[in-house]
Structure 1
Amino acid sequence: MKKNLLLAGFLISIGTFAQTAEERAVIKRNINSTELANLKMKFDKEYQDQQIKIQAYLLANPTAKKEFTIGKNFYSLQRIDADGNPIYINTKDANQVANAKVNSLYQGGSIGVNITGTNMVAGVWDGGQVNASHELLAGQVTMQANQPLNSTGGNNHMQAVAGIMVGKIVTNSSNPLASTARGLAPNATAKTYDWDNDLAEMTTFAADGFLISNHSYGAANDNTIPVWQFGAYDFSAKSWDMLLKNTPNYLPFVAGGNEQMSNGNMSAAGFDIMTGSSAAKNVVTVGAIDLDNSMSDYSNWGPTDDGRVKPDLVTLGSEINAPLYAGNNTYTGVVASSSGTSYAAPAAAAAGLLLQQYYKSIFGNYMKASSLKALMLHTADEAGNVGPDAKFGWGILNVERAAQTIKQMQSGGSAKLVEFTTNPANDSGAEINTTGIAGGGAARASICWTDDDGTEQTSANGLNPAGGRLVYNFDILFRQPNPFIDTRPFAPLSVSNPNALATVSTAWFGNSVDNYKQANISSTTANSNLIIYIRKASTSPAAVRNFSVILTGLKITSATLSTADVKASKNVVFFSKDDLKIKMISNDVSASFGEYKIYDMSGKMIQSAKEKSNEISFNVKTNGVYILVYQTKNGSETFRFKL
């Protein structure tokens, strides 16, 4: 079961750590510093206003407490909601390395590298302080300025979270438990904060160019929480997305919570209990599984009220050997009480650090947050129901498969990641498209973006309102022309029947709630073309929103994803010679089309040849939409045209 222990202690601070200044400078160039400064002032003001409201509430309710412990869970009064209700948050309490296959990145692992978190920095927000003199964390963590000791003093929960993320490898301990308590990113470091005023502090952390943070706490989810808030996109979820839309590289990991068996929404039978930040669109919400990869009896289930997949993924959270606060070589051991989504979330966050480091070692830059999230969900192991579900999300974290996918993104590999900085028109019809060559097995396409904050749910909306909270809405179609197969992403989960099998959308924008979407072709014909189309819904803002696309299961990925309409206006001119013949002429007279194929929209190949000039004659008897796939000196290009 989910547990954490609280023991008194005193924090010892150590020196600060950072990614290289050059790396952070590159990330900071993508951040609107003025907007973040304004957000920090907004969050600071909201925090101060809440402190006044909390004091007033405590004075008016003498039996109420700001902080208390039930069993081994620490509770803290976070805010007073718009209806005057107290909102409490609480803590969400190897072999995680093996379970998540993180050791594939270590020296001697299957990827053939030595990625351990060097120069990577995590943010850790939690309900107390760490003992930075503990042998597992000495030299690994630093408590940030203006983090006063709270009434609980030292905190076993925060000690465990930090140890799971960045605990170093200890080889000379007098305690044999030290050897199995190492962190997943043992050469990374952590900046630690208490959870008071977390959003303002996260704003500064992200503005400094850091990439990942962990948050193993959340709403208490007991009877003090109004029922409408379960599954709701409330004030907290909206505020987190408001921050993250302005920080395109920053990705927080949030524990999904441990109230499956006892919560304030028990009529939902364990479903519909994601609250606050765990219901935000732009975070990675993490659930917990047991040692045998079965669902734990504590991890919270989704979906959200609008049918979004939550949790996003799961990883091992049960019976984790973790460091204790009191003493410098003390550990929990592998016991049932050392379990919870609190322990799963930092494992996933540490995995994110390692994947960022590995990607940077190959490509020279870090992934956008939307790319890292897409990668981790794209490569998760199937679990629970086929497709996404409300218990396991997109599946079990598999770092080895994610790292293999990064490795395959290199030139000529079978995977591709493209981070788009252009959009199709927001008319639900204009398209971006590309092709790849099928490898003969399964193929997968994922699309993800960091969305704007959506419309806040309040008590006035009642229980489980169905309206989606997306602001931008992109969709993806995966086509195999020969034989003709169209594959769309999964549809939203059913809020009324949350244990139902996932279904696949049957039309464009059949999923208008999730900002991560996945389309799968179970079997492809080797060497056939795969065509990927992307559209932007007319409900989306016209302003460009960056998004990420990952493709796997290809034989080659020489094609570059690009906006076809833009390329056509510059590179290819169409004109009619008569009713039966069309000429396509490249504006680049030095170029030739090379080998080309033309398909109709049913996937039937109409014409193919090798062309040594910059002109193609196309014999056609039927007006319609056609697809030209041709080779240039720079690789394969795709163009969609209408006659």
Structure 2
Amino acid sequence: MKKIFISISVFALTLANAQQKNETLMKEFEKQRIENNKKFDAYVAKRYGSNKNPETLKEIDELKTSLAGFTDSNKPYFYKVHDMDQIKNSNSDYLQGGNITGLTGSFNGENIKFTIFDGSTVSGNARVYANHTLFNNAPGRITNKESSNLNYGDHATAVASFIGARDFPYTFPQNGRQVNFKGIAPNCTIDAYSFGNSILQGETTSKNVFEKILTAQPNISNHSYGISAGWDVIEVNNTQAWGWHGSFTPSNTTYDMQGSYILNDRLYDLLVYSDPSYIIIKSAGNSFGMGSNAYLPATANFKKYYVNTGSWVEFATTDTPPAVNCAQGYDCISPGSVAKNIISVAASDRITANNGRYIASADVIHSSYSSAGPRDDGGIKPDITAVGTNVASATTGNDSVGSNGVAIGSGTSYSAPIVTGIIGLWTQINKQLFSGSLLNAASAKTLMIHSALEAGSNPGPDAQFGWGFINAKKGAELLVGKSNNTIIFNDEVLTSGTSNKKTVVASGSEPLKVTISWVDPEYPNVDNNTSLANLNNNRISKLMNDLDLRIIDASNNIVYLPWRLDYNNPLTALKGDNTVDNVEQVIVDNPVAGRNYRIEITNKGILRNNSNENAPQNYSIIVTGHSELLGTKDSKAGALSNLIISPSVTKDVTNILKAPKKSAFIIYDMSGKKLQSGTINSEKETIDLSTYTKGIYIIEIKTDNDIITKKVIKE
């Protein structure tokens, strides 16, 4: 995965250097400039017509100044003053700038530590160049845990910069492109390890990446590396070629493990199950389209090889080579990136329209190289998508000295750390709102998926984009909603044979949406001896504890089912019983305002831990699109069903009417701050709001079995 991404980057930079020296190319560029100007004039005439006021003329001049070229359909694209696309596209700038209602201050990774496991383009063992200019805004921002005799690595340094580079504007001399290298969390700290086998500082024996994870004990870690499982670029007799990394028996029998759940996946799942607070983010891979001689111009004449008794053998003309990776648009994700308890990240192109903002699902373009799932049992992988194409980063020489280099490149290696950084900012917000508490693996994934923006041509998740496009702002707003009780966002426990139920009243102003996720025990039946024939498209579910989420319309008992994928057609999501994912999401697109809907979480079979002992299952849940929560437990009495808040709009006081005696009430403002509380002693409990500022306040009423939240407006 990493290798092809770097090949793309090196190819682009090599071409840029050649352009400066080659007179023939300079003449070609001049010819292209003249043609572009003609196309631009035609574009202006079509878009603006003949009536151009001074503001329009100014806009046209600015566009012409930044004109970069045209797509095949003669649509222009433009350079931007600052290359902040990964930040703006993901709405992370709202968090960095302190522009989230209900939060205090800005969030740039202060007191958040990330851990990365990475390498270089030439070795799995390499360090981040900690003295790079892009990390010098505070001392000790990068701590290398590897031995000091290990070389610095370009790839590791780039990944660290996407998470934590400081604010640094720069103009690339090759093409005049202006960028800003600022990362998602520019004030964070990073512990850096290589993903290869190596001896850490102060130790005497070598460790692999899983052992290093145990040593590091991280809260959030990034893993931008992977395994070649289908076609990949190889070198035979000093010549680049396509190599098939599955098995092949002439003339047409082939097996591979693209999309397979392998030992590495089991180990990642085991690590998270053993420490449910641990959040792993991993790149999905850059294998899409590999094996095609049209993949890049440089691959046009590649020969094709497969392994026979340990050596590369060229396919014969009578052979039928395996299909190109993801030939049908899916099924080429890297094994090791399909574990249940991790977050696997796909890449999309930069959103350059709409001032860099997402407007509609069509704005999210699947990057041509980004590996697609699903897991072979139909599990939704990748989990999420972020921008990873044609983006700027730090780099360094792969040597013992290090250097202050910069580069532009592409890959899921570059989209994964964006998600890593955003989850770190959400963790920082969570700490502010909830007394320093961290997000755990299940709540982080639930938050990410519930807040994701729609991507792809069909509603719901799919095998290319996962659950959608990362949205930092919405995730932050959901955390604020949790703090002020306008949404449900809880960690809960399910016991075998029981049903966790809650009834909500739909607001009718948005879909009623429920998402749950849980840390599932690792699937046990894979090891290093599992054959490719047994791994290839193995459809056996890797889910150990199968939780079921449903929404039931209380007025007519219509049951709403979760999303799921069909592994034979995973680019279009279905709704039905999901038996493979440890995430379930149910949406009522057009709920009836004021109607009661019952949310039920149950399970199949017997819930067990990873020692195969009977055990309850923890899960995280988010509910949005409701105005009231009527009950969190089975309540035969329905004690709060008749409760009234009156008046709901007031200048001074409101009343809690018909609440059970000895029930408790709490008043919150919209930031989640607790303002007052008390016990209800009569059928009319008066609440004084006269000293509060104008705005919306939340009144929460609780009994032993029920809870209701109501809004009141202070004029």
TM-score (norm 2): 0.63
Structure 2 residue aligned with 1:66: none
User: Hey, what's the Cα distance between the residues in 2 that align with 1:613 and 1:136?
Assistant: 61
Which shifted more, 224-233 or 127-136? 224-233
Instruction: Say if 2:320 is the partner of 1:320.
Output: no
Instruction: Say if 2:148 is the partner of 1:160.
Output: no
User: Hey, what's the Cα distance between the residues in 1 that align with 2:623 and 2:367?
Assistant: 32
Structure 2 residue aligned with 1:192: 192
Is residue 289–residue 317 contact of structure 1 (8 Å, CA) maintained in 2? Answer: yes
Is residue 476–residue 534 contact of structure 1 (8 Å, CA) maintained in 2? Answer: yes
Q: 1:230 aligns with which of 238, 245, 258?
A: 258
Q: 2:274 aligns with which of 246, 250, 255?
A: 246
Q: 1:446 aligns with which of 478, 493, 515?
A: 515
Give the CA deviation at 1:348: 0.5
State how 1:355-366 maps to structure 2 within 5 Å: 355-364=426-435, 365-366=437-438
Is residue 233–residue 456 contact of structure 1 (8 Å, CA) maintained in 2? Answer: no
State how 1:420-499 maps to structure 2 within 5 Å: 420=492, 422-425=493-496, 427=497, 430-440=498-508, 441-457=510-526, 458-459=530-531, 461=534, 463-482=536-555, 484-491=557-564, 493-499=565-571
Cα distance, 1:632–1:388 mapped onto 2, change above 3 Å: closer
Instruction: Say if 2:538 is the partner of 1:517.
Output: no
Cα distance, 1:171–1:321 mapped onto 2, change above 3 Å: closer
CA-to-aligned-CA distance 1:571-619 (integer Å, 9 cap, x gap): x7xxxxxxxxxxx6x9xxxxx666279xxxxxxxxxxx968689xxxxx
User: Hey, what's the Cα distance between the residues in 1 that align with 2:444 and 2:480?
Assistant: 14
Instruction: Say if 2:353 is the partner of 1:284.
Output: no
Cα distance, 1:363–1:522 mapped onto 2, change above 3 Å: same
Question: What is the alpha-carbon root mean square deviation over aligned residues?
Answer: 3.0
Q: 1:341 aligns with which of 406, 409, 412?
A: 412
Is residue 116–residue 193 contact of structure 2 (8 Å, CA) maintained in 1? Answer: yes
Structure 2 residue aligned with 1:386: 459
Structure 2 residue aligned with 1:272: 331
Question: Aligned AA for 1:253?
Answer: I
Give the CA deviation at 1:443: 1.3
Alignment identity in percent?
Answer: 27
Q: What secondary structure is seen at the aligned counterpart in 1 of 2:94?
A: helix
User: Hey, what's the Cα distance between the residues in 1 that align with 2:604 and 2:112?
Assistant: 37
State how 1:499-578 maps to structure 2 within 5 Å: 499=571, 501-505=572-576, 510-541=577-608, 542-557=614-629, 561-562=632-633, 564=634
Number of residue pairs the alignment of both structures matches: 481
CA-to-aligned-CA distance 1:370-409 (integer Å, 9 cap, x gap): 0111110111111112111001110010111111111111
Question: Aligned AA for 2:507?
Answer: G
User: Hey, what's the Cα distance between the residues in 2 that align with 1:437 and 1:386?
Assistant: 25
CA-to-aligned-CA distance 1:341-363 (integer Å, 9 cap, x gap): 00000001000100111112111
Give the CA deviation at 1:301: 0.3
Q: 1:294 aligns with which of 343, 362, 365?
A: 365
Is residue 129–residue 143 contact of structure 1 (8 Å, CA) maintained in 2? Answer: no
Q: Structure 2: give runs of 5+ residues left out of the alignment.
A: 11-83, 120-125, 197-207, 232-243, 248-254, 292-321, 352-363, 609-613, 645-656, 663-698, 708-715
Structure 2 residue aligned with 1:330: 405
TM-score (norm 1): 0.69
Cα distance, 1:400–1:633 mapped onto 2, change above 3 Å: closer
User: Hey, what's the Cα distance between the residues in 1 that align with 2:113 and 2:177?
Assistant: 26
Q: What secondary structure is seen at the aligned counterpart in 2 of 1:437?
A: strand
Is residue 418–residue 561 contact of structure 1 (8 Å, CA) maintained in 2? Answer: no
Give the CA deviation at 1:164: 0.3
CA-to-aligned-CA distance 1:479-538 (integer Å, 9 cap, x gap): 2324654211112x2222233x21111xxxx11100011100101222222321110211
Cα distance, 1:285–1:612 mapped onto 2, change above 3 Å: closer
User: Hey, what's the Cα distance between the residues in 2 that align with 1:240 and 1:560?
Assistant: 37
Give the CA deviation at 1:555: 1.6
Give the CA deviation at 1:329: 4.3
Give the CA deviation at 1:410: 2.1
Cα distance, 1:634–1:388 mapped onto 2, change above 3 Å: same
Cα distance, 1:340–1:514 mapped onto 2, change above 3 Å: same
Cα distance, 1:435–1:205 mapped onto 2, change above 3 Å: farther
Give the CA deviation at 1:179: 6.0
Q: What secondary structure is seen at the aligned counterpart in 2 of 1:218?
A: coil
Structure 1 residue aligned with 2:441: 369
User: Hey, what's the Cα distance between the residues in 2 that align with 1:99 and 1:442?
Assistant: 24
Structure 1 residue aligned with 2:60: none
Is residue 169–residue 180 contact of structure 2 (8 Å, CA) maintained in 1? Answer: no
Q: 1:98 aligns with which of 69, 76, 88?
A: 88
User: Hey, what's the Cα distance between the residues in 2 that align with 1:594 and 1:464?
Assistant: 51
Cα distance, 1:465–1:159 mapped onto 2, change above 3 Å: same
Question: Aligned AA for 2:289?
Answer: M
Is residue 265–residue 273 contact of structure 1 (8 Å, CA) maintained in 2? Answer: no
Give the CA deviation at 1:638: 5.7
Question: Aligned AA for 1:199?
Answer: F
Structure 1 residue aligned with 2:227: 219
Structure 2 residue aligned with 1:255: 283
Is residue 125–residue 192 contact of structure 1 (8 Å, CA) maintained in 2? Answer: yes
CA-to-aligned-CA distance 1:308-336 (integer Å, 9 cap, x gap): 01110101001111012147543215xxx
Cα distance, 1:462–1:156 mapped onto 2, change above 3 Å: closer
Which shifted more, 381-390 or 462-471? 462-471
User: Hey, what's the Cα distance between the residues in 2 that align with 1:149 and 1:561?
Assistant: 57
Q: What secondary structure is seen at the aligned counterpart in 2 of 1:125?
A: strand
Give the CA deviation at 1:108: 4.5
Cα distance, 1:303–1:376 mapped onto 2, change above 3 Å: same
Structure 1 residue aligned with 2:470: 397
Give the CA deviation at 1:228: 3.3
User: Hey, what's the Cα distance between the residues in 2 that align with 1:99 and 1:612?
Assistant: 49
Question: Aligned AA for 2:266?
Answer: K
Q: What secondary structure is seen at the aligned counterpart in 2 of 1:345?
A: helix
Cα distance, 1:381–1:122 mapped onto 2, change above 3 Å: same
Which shifted more, 529-538 or 346-355? 529-538
Give the CA deviation at 1:106: 1.8
User: Hey, what's the Cα distance between the residues in 1 that align with 2:391 and 2:460?
Assistant: 28
Is residue 278–residue 441 contact of structure 2 (8 Å, CA) maintained in 1? Answer: yes
Is residue 135–residue 170 contact of structure 1 (8 Å, CA) maintained in 2? Answer: no
Who wins on radius of gyration, i.e. which is larger?
A: 2
Q: What secondary structure is seen at the aligned counterpart in 1 of 2:477?
A: helix
Q: What secondary structure is seen at the aligned counterpart in 2 of 1:342?
A: helix
Is residue 117–residue 353 contact of structure 1 (8 Å, CA) maintained in 2? Answer: yes
Give the CA deviation at 1:148: 5.8
Q: What secondary structure is seen at the aligned counterpart in 1 of 2:642?
A: strand
Instruction: Say if 2:110 is the partner of 1:118.
Output: yes
Q: Structure 1: give runs of 5+ residues left out of the alignment.
A: 7-93, 573-583, 587-591, 598-608, 615-630
